[in-house]
Structure 1
Amino acid sequence: MLGFLAVAGVALLAGCGRGDSGQSITAVGSSALQPLVEAAAEQYQTDHLGVFINVQGGGTGTGLSQIQQRAVEIGNSDLFAEEKPGINAKKLVDHRVAVVGITPIANPGVGVRNLSIVQLRRLFTGEITNWKQVGGKDLPVVVVNRAQGSGTRTTFEKWVLQDRQPLAAQEQDSTGMVRSIVASTPGAVSYVAFSYVDDTVKALALNGVTPTDQHVTTNAWPIWSYEHMYTRGQPTGLTKDFVTYMMAPSTQKRLVAKMGYIPVTSMKVERDAAGNVVQKAAE
């Protein structure tokens, strides 16, 4: 009898991992997407004992280059692979797991709540050097950029700078560090994903349009991007299971929306890698 119970106990423990025990994968890239993937990985690991999902940042450029080199199982990106020089998009499979809005943020002391898109562009090209030039306080403008390779930076510059040369300014790899610098530096301005905005910084409206999820879904707020999880070819095993979990309706409802991201299913428009926007077909 004891022997039977021992065998049954081993079988039960083996079943707890749902066949995944001992497996591990790594997802690297976009810092804008990182909090969502970390939260999903933590929940997935709780539901599937014995697996490990290692989530790292490093930026979109890192995510795409690492997945192209097969160094990781998932490359997280704020951009279509086609937008990134040196990446062979034909060898990658795109899984769009969310949409993220990107907003300019400023130190709360600048005295500005709304800018035109042209004013914002001129702040980041260095043509406007003092906040009083746009109706704010007499404070020098301090531009803080994300580092080269950041998908957030590429998206911001694509829709705001529109091929103008950005001002040479300090650069930060981490979105969290950008927010911290803007919050503590008089006159500072930068840009972050909606999910990073808190009470320490001021999100700026553009042309009277506020940075909200609803405005992103209709493209009334144009600074947004899909959040992609790229795999090298069709995913298999744990990678396939985790990507499927990320895109499941229950995950989209429980995690994506609650963490400040926008479910892809909420979008009323679609945008391709070239930036063309069309009304989304009725589902």
Structure 2
Amino acid sequence: MLNVSKKAVAMGMAATLAAGLMVGCGSSDSSAQGGSKTGDAGKTTDTAQTDISGKITASGSTALLPLVKQAATEFQDKNKNVTIDVSGGGSGTGLKQVAEGSVTIGMSDVESGKDYADKGLVDHQVVVAPFVLVTNKDVNVTNLTKDQAGKIFTGEITNWKDVGGKDEKITIVGRPESSGSRKLVKQLVLPADKDFAKDAIAQDSTGAVRQTVQQTAGAIGYIDAPYITPDISVLSFDGVAYSEDNIYNGTYKLFAFEHMYTKGTPDKATQAFLDYIMSDEFQSKDVKDLKFIPVNKMKK
């Protein structure tokens, strides 16, 4: 009888252990199935995918940099086996590096265009970035028309008195040719056959543009909204002030969709990271807190 009891106890313990293993496997499978497809704006995403592992690298747009860094911090907190490295360098750098395969994600303010048409790049539109024209605080002009701004950036207008300001030389601060921000402002503000003035100061990052404008009397530049600080002045454009509502109603024209390009179909970790950025959790809070526009609101 004693032998039988021991055998029964052993069999019972084995059955209990097997059942526990089956439950554990079921939980793992369930967490792995969380997430939504990138581009399904507004879908709720299961972001606590603890089975995900890998390394993600992203480079490119400095306009998009604060948002992607914030997303990376939050995503790594939820997925301890994922490492994400994010750097700037400009949209041209991001597109070049993702096409070469040296980074996982290329961040860009502009579409990849014909130069990358045969590189197998997949576009993920993640947010809308508003851009603003900014001046040093000593400039007493509050609005520029598209024509006035175009003539200033091309060097045709060189003194603030010619657009209603005081007698003061205009100093132009912008980005290098690899910058997506520069391409956007050229497209949205400058005449079709014109380029930026040759004596314009070129800075390698949006933050550096903001700082140079703040420190240089008579300066004007262009930055994206997340970089606005109280020590610079933000201009109205064609009589319309920058605001989210004015972007939604179509009256404020300086904005662009922000792109995160992958080379081909993303791997599991990269797809999960993109899904997190597109999730309700991130779009409804972090995107707005960082002064970007949730992409799902623009697509309705």
- What TM-score bracket applies, with the shorter chain setting the length? 0.7 to 0.9
Q: Which residue of 180, 188, 195 corresponds with 1:165?
A: 195
CA distance in 1, matches of 2:56, 2:195: 39
Task: Read off the aligned partner of 1:102 and give its amino acid letter.
Answer: F
Equivalent positions of 1:152-191 (< 5 A) are 152-163=181-192, 164-168=194-198, 169-191=200-222
RMSD of aligned alpha carbons: 1.9
Q: Does 1:209 align with 2:240?
A: yes
Residue 214 of structure 1, CA deviation: 1.7
Cα distance per residue 1:123-163 (max 9 Å; x no partner): 11111111111111221000011111111110011010032
SS of corresponding position for 1:75: strand
Equivalent positions of 1:105-184 (< 5 A) are 105-163=134-192, 164-168=194-198, 169-184=200-215
CA distance in 2, matches of 1:212, 1:75: 28
Paired residue for 2:82?
A: 51
- Is the Cα–Cα contact under 8 Å of residues 17 and 49 in structure 1 kept in the other structure? no
Q: Which residue of 38, 43, 60 corresponds with 2:69?
A: 38
Residue 207 of structure 1, CA deviation: 1.9
Residue 63 of structure 1, CA deviation: 0.6
Task: Read off the aligned partner of 1:79 and give its amino acid letter.
Answer: V
CA distance in 1, matches of 2:138, 2:255: 26
CA distance in 1, matches of 2:116, 2:122: 12
Cα distance per residue 1:29-87 (max 9 Å; x no partner): 100001000000000111111321000100100111111111111111111112xx522
CA distance in 2, matches of 1:129, 1:78: 28
SS of corresponding position for 1:161: coil
Residue 17 of structure 1, CA deviation: 8.0
Residue 200 of structure 1, CA deviation: 1.1
CA distance in 2, matches of 1:234, 1:218: 34
CA distance in 1, matches of 2:95, 2:171: 31
Q: Does 1:99 align with 2:128?
A: yes
For normalisation by structure 2, the TM-score amounts to 0.81
Task: Read off the aligned partner of 2:179 and give its amino acid letter.
Answer: S
Instruction: Assess, with a 3 A threshold, how the Cα gap between structure 1 residues 139 and 252 changes in structure 2: closer, same or farther.
Output: same
CA distance in 2, matches of 1:219, 1:94: 24
Paired residue for 2:231?
A: 200
Residue 90 of structure 1, CA deviation: 6.3
SS of corresponding position for 1:140: coil
SS of corresponding position for 2:202: strand
Q: Does 1:25 align with 2:49?
A: no
CA distance in 1, matches of 2:158, 2:232: 20
Count of matched residue pairs: 255
For normalisation by structure 1, the TM-score amounts to 0.86
Report runs of 4+ in structure 1 exceeding 4 Å deviation.
none
Task: Read off the aligned partner of 1:151 and give its amino acid letter.
Answer: G
Gapped regions of structure 2 (runs ≥ 5): 1-20, 29-47
Q: Does 1:74 align with 2:74?
A: no
CA distance in 2, matches of 1:213, 1:260: 9
Task: Read off the aligned partner of 1:175 and give its amino acid letter.
Answer: T
Task: Read off the aligned partner of 2:80 and give its amino acid letter.
Answer: L
- Is the Cα–Cα contact under 8 Å of residues 17 and 51 in structure 1 kept in the other structure? no
CA distance in 2, matches of 1:228, 1:249: 18
Residue 89 of structure 1, CA deviation: 6.0
Paired residue for 2:296?
A: 265
Gapped regions of structure 1 (runs ≥ 5): 1-7, 268-279
Identity in percent: 39
Bigger Rg, structure 1 or 2: 2
CA distance in 1, matches of 2:191, 2:269: 40
- Is the Cα–Cα contact under 8 Å of residues 104 and 189 in structure 1 kept in the other structure? yes
SS of corresponding position for 1:105: strand
CA distance in 2, matches of 1:73, 1:264: 22
